Amino acid sequence: EAGVAQSPRYKIIEKRQSVAFWCNPISGHATLYWYQQILGQGPKLLIQFQNNGVVDDSQLPKDRFSAERLKGVDSTLKIQPAKLEDSAVYLCASSLSNQPQHFGDGTRLSIL
Amino acid sequence: AQSVTQLDSQVPVFEEAPVELRCNYSSSVSVYLFWYVQYPNQGLQLLLKYLSGSTLVESINGFEAEFNKSQTSFHLRKPSVHISDTAEYFCAVTVNSGGYQKVTFGTGTKLQVIP
């Protein structure tokens, strides 16, 4: 089966600019996750979708981050405006209910 | 709320030596437990999982982990490591919460295999 696809792999922007990441999960996986992984740390959940509904966005900085999963398939995560502390790898994962997550290779974001 | 503790941020070990990466968790409800491995510039890959049944679980590349409910641990072990095992390892716990699964990751342990 095809894995979780993410794009772009790398992105460099200046602070206060906007950026968007895209994720296409494994076909049939109802649950989709976005994580932020800062260098040297474990993944931190930003938002979790069940189909096209949000089930957990408690750690999403909603003043600058937004995410959507239209039609319950692929998803986009947006940052507007970006801050220096947003430099991180943004990981997307998908899963079936109560099953392990499958991760994409991530998008490495650098803020100048 | 559940939590995961990986006390060792880095573990250096000589090639062909045994290794144990420690993971402890806390939760007031039943958990599922996972170990993921992350190679440089890649996402996380599932190494092994405990959902139910036998408390000892094994991966295809020689790693094993044992679920110990009384000690709330899920330590990862390998009797003889290879250079290719150099990577970062994450322990994760999942609980069912409000009809969906809630996942918490540990902070990771970097395994460095020394030739």
What pLDDT digit, counting tens, does each position of A45-90 carry?
999 999 889 999 999 999 999 999 988 899 999 999 999 999 999 9
The β-bridge partners of B112 are: B12
Mean pLDDT for all residues in chain B: 92
Please answer yes or no on whether A50 and B100 come within 8 Å at the CB atom: yes
Please answer yes or no on whether B101 and A91 come within 8 Å at the CB atom: no
Q: What is the pLDDT of residue B29?
A: 86
Q: What is the pLDDT of residue A1?
A: 67
d(CA B5, CA B25): 6
CA distances to A42, A59, A62 from B1, rounded to whole Å, are 17, 14, 22
Q: Which of B11, B44, B7 is nearest to B24 (CA)?
A: B7
Interface of B with A in 33-52 (CB under 8 A): 34, 36, 41-46, 49, 51
Select the residue of B43, B45, B99 nearest A106 (Cβ to Cβ).
B43
The β-bridge partners of B95 are: B102
Helix (H) or strand (E) holding A44: strand A44-50
Q: Which residues of A touch B36 (CB under 8 A)?
A: 103
* Predicted confidence (pLDDT) at residue B31 exceeds the cutoff of 70: yes
Asked whether the beta carbons of B69 and B57 are under 8 A apart, the reply is: no
Predicted confidence band of residue B96 (pLDDT cuts 50, 70, 90): confident
Asked whether the beta carbons of B83 and B15 are under 8 A apart, the reply is: yes
Q: Which of A41, A17, A38 is nearest to A86 (CA)?
A: A38
Residue A5: exposure state from Cβ atoms within 10 A (0-12, 13-18, ≥19): middle
Q: Which residues of A touch B99 (CB under 8 A)?
A: 55
Task: List the structure tokens of A57.
Answer: 């966005």
Q: Which of A26, A25, A71 is nearest to A52 (CA)?
A: A71
**A105 alpha-carbon distance from chain centroid:** 11
